Structure 1
C-alpha cells in the first residue's frame, strides 16, 4: 500500500519549486546565440523549457523569465488544482449552490474547451468524472482500502455527467449540488500553452516547453535542426524510445495507462476511468499521442482516444483529421498505427 500511495502522490498538483537555470553552449558564433534551459516543478511534475536567445544578458533575462513563468504556473495551479482545497476549482467543487459561481478567465476557458471536447467525443472526455476518479483512488484522497462495490460505483456514476455543468462568461454553474469537476485531462496542457504564449509575447521564436510530458514547440532547436522529441515506449519497467518525432510549431500530448495504476487480486487497474461504465479501461490500447496547435486540446483528445480503445479511437482520429499515434499491446509486443496527418511529423533518422 505504501508503494502504491507513493505512486499516486506523483500526480499531485504541488506548489511550484524553481530549480535551476542552465545555459548551454553557443551554436551560432556570428550572432552569439545560445540555448537557455529552465527547469522546475509544477502540478506534481517536472517542467523543462529550452529556448534560443542571444548570449548578451541571457542569464539575467532568463532569471527574470523563470520568475514570471513560475508565477504563471502557480496561478494556474491555484485556479485549477483539485489538491489545493483553496483553489478556484476546489471551492466550486465544495459549493452545493446551483447559482453561477465566478471563476477566472483561465478556468472558464479550460472548462469551456473541455465541454466542447466532451461533445466532440460523445462524452468520452468528461471533466465531471471526479467522483469516479476519487472512488478509484486516483484523486486527492489516494487509494481506497478496498475496491469499490456496486453500490458505491452506482452512486458515483449518478454524480457524473457533462450536461450537469455549464459555463457562461466567467461563471460556472452546477445542475446538481454534488457535481465535482476534475480538469486533470486539460489543465496541464493549458499550463504548457500559458508558458509558450508568454515566451511568444517576449519575442522568443524558438522554444520547447514541456510539463510532465506535455509539450509545445516553436521554431527550431538550432539553425539547421527542428526540435526532435521521443514518444516513450509504453512499458513501466524502464524508459525506452518508441518513435522520434518533430511536432513543428505545435502542441503535443501523450496519454497512457502504463505508469499510473494499481494491482489488486492479480488485476491491473488504470487511472483512466471510462465514464460510460465507471470502470478503469480494460482494452489493449496503452498509449496515444496527439499533435495539435493547442497543447490543452491535444491533452484532452489524447485521453479521449485512450478511452475509446484501439478501433474506435483510430476511427475517431481519422474522422476528425487528427494527427494521432496509437500504440496497442499484443501477445508479441506492441503494435503501432498512426493517422495520415501524423505521418509528416515522424523523424525517419536521427543524425
Structure 2
C-alpha cells in the first residue's frame, strides 16, 4: 500500500531564488491505476507544453511497465509461453536491473514474480467469505516465484528470459518510482529545476518551492481512516516512498492478514512493523526499498539499512502499549538526511 504524502509548510524562509515572482504550474491526473500530481516552478513556463510532455512520458511508461495494460511490454512478456531470451526496451532493462539489485541485497525478500501469491491470497478483489489459501496451494504458487531462479536478464544485450513459461512479472513495487523519475527528467529537459512529482504516494523533489523554501513532506501516522502527521522531512533532489500495511489487509477467525507477502513462506508478514519510509537518490530505488523494508520488518530491515547506508524510517506497533501505540526507529542515514529539521 502506498501512503499519501502530505506537503508541509516550512517555518523559516530560506530566500527566493527567482528574480521575479515565480510561476507555478500544477498538473494532476490518473496513471498506473492511481493518481499523479506535479508541481513545477520557474519563469516563463508553458503549462500546455509541460502537460503534453508529461502525459506523453506517462503514456510511454505505462506502455512498458503497466500490469493493468494487457498490451504493455511487461504484460506481453508475462503472457508469453516462450523460454527463449526476449528483446526488451532499455527502460524495462533498467527497471529489472534495479529490481535484481534489491532482490539480491534482501536475499530474495523483494521479488517481482510474486504475482501467483498475490492472486492466491486475493489482494485486492477479495470478499470476507474467501477462504485462507491451503498449504498445498501456497506451495504450488511458490514454484512460480523467485526472480533469481526463474528470470535471466542480460542488460547489455537487453534481453530477458524465463525458465518456466508460467512465470510472470509484477512491477507494482518499483514501476511508479521509475515513472516519477521519468517525469522528473521530462521537467529537467524542459528547463524546470524546481519541482515536486508524486505518483500514488511515491515522490521526488528538487530545488525549492515557490516561497523559496525547502520541499517539506509529511509522513503519515499509520492510522486507517485518518490523516495526521508522524514526522516532517525536507527533500532536495531526493526520492521518497512510504509503504504500509494498515489499510490493505483482511481478518479471518481473529487473524490479521497483511497484503505484504513473504516470498520465502508464501504467506503474509507477521511482524509488527506497519509503516516504512525510505529516502533515496531517486524515486525508483525508494519505491523498491520501501516495499522490501516493510516485508523485512524493523529488526532485519534496520540491520540491512545500516549495512547499505540506506535512509529508512520504521514505525512499528507497540503490542504492549495499546491499539494506537507505536515505536519508531530510523537508520543512521535517515538521521543524517533530517539534518536539523
Q: TM-score, normalised by structure 1?
A: 0.86
Does 2:27 align with 1:38?
yes
> 2:273, 2:316 within 8 Å by CA — same for their partners in 1?
yes
Question: Partners of 2:74 and 2:178 in 1: how far apart?
Answer: 15
> 1:292, 1:298 within 8 Å by CA — same for their partners in 2?
yes
Count residues with an aligned counterpart: 320
Task: Point out where structure 1 has 5 or more consecutive residues left out of the alignment.
Answer: 1-7, 12-26
Superposition map of 1:136-285 within 5 A: 136-138=121-123, 142-143=125-126, 145-162=130-147, 163-168=149-154, 169-222=157-210, 224-285=212-273
Q: How far does the alpha carbon of each residue in 1:121-177 deviate from its partner, in whole angstroms, 9 at most, with x for none?
A: 1111011111111111226xx327322111111100111111210112322100111
Question: Partners of 2:284 and 2:211 in 1: how far apart?
Answer: 28
Q: How far does the alpha carbon of each residue in 1:258-283 deviate from its partner, in whole angstroms, 9 at most, with x for none?
A: 12222222322221110010011111
Higher relative contact order (CA 8 A, sep 6+): 2
Does 2:38 align with 1:49?
yes
| Partner of residue 100, structure 2 | 115
Question: Partners of 2:52 and 2:76 in 1: how far apart?
Answer: 27
Task: Point out where structure 2 has 5 or more consecutive residues left out of the alignment.
Answer: 4-15
Query: Secondary structure of 2:240's match?
Result: strand
Question: Partners of 2:207 and 2:161 in 1: how far apart?
Answer: 40
Question: Partners of 1:170 and 1:62 in 2: how far apart?
Answer: 36
Rate the CA distance shift 1:245–1:85 in 2: closer, same or farther, 3 A: same
> 1:110, 1:190 within 8 Å by CA — same for their partners in 2?
yes
> 1:254, 1:288 within 8 Å by CA — same for their partners in 2?
yes
**Deviation of the 1:222 alpha carbon:** 3.6
**Deviation of the 1:190 alpha carbon:** 0.4
| Partner of residue 341, structure 1 | 333
| Partner of residue 316, structure 1 | 304
Query: Secondary structure of 1:345's match?
Result: helix
**Deviation of the 1:348 alpha carbon:** 5.9
Q: How far does the alpha carbon of each residue in 1:297-330 deviate from its partner, in whole angstroms, 9 at most, with x for none?
A: 1111111111111111111101111111111111
Question: Partners of 2:231 and 2:286 in 1: how far apart?
Answer: 18
Provide the alpha-carbon RMSD of the alignment.
2.0
Query: Secondary structure of 2:203's match?
Result: strand
Q: TM-score, normalised by structure 2?
A: 0.89
1:287 to 275, 298, 319: 275
Question: Partners of 1:143 and 1:112 in 2: how far apart?
Answer: 32
Query: Secondary structure of 2:161's match?
Result: strand
**Deviation of the 1:347 alpha carbon:** 7.4
Does 2:70 align with 1:85?
yes
Question: Partners of 2:76 and 2:212 in 1: how far apart?
Answer: 49
> 2:33, 2:68 within 8 Å by CA — same for their partners in 1?
no
Question: Partners of 1:107 and 1:336 in 2: how far apart?
Answer: 36
Question: Partners of 1:348 and 1:267 in 2: how far apart?
Answer: 41
Question: Partners of 1:109 and 1:138 in 2: how far apart?
Answer: 27
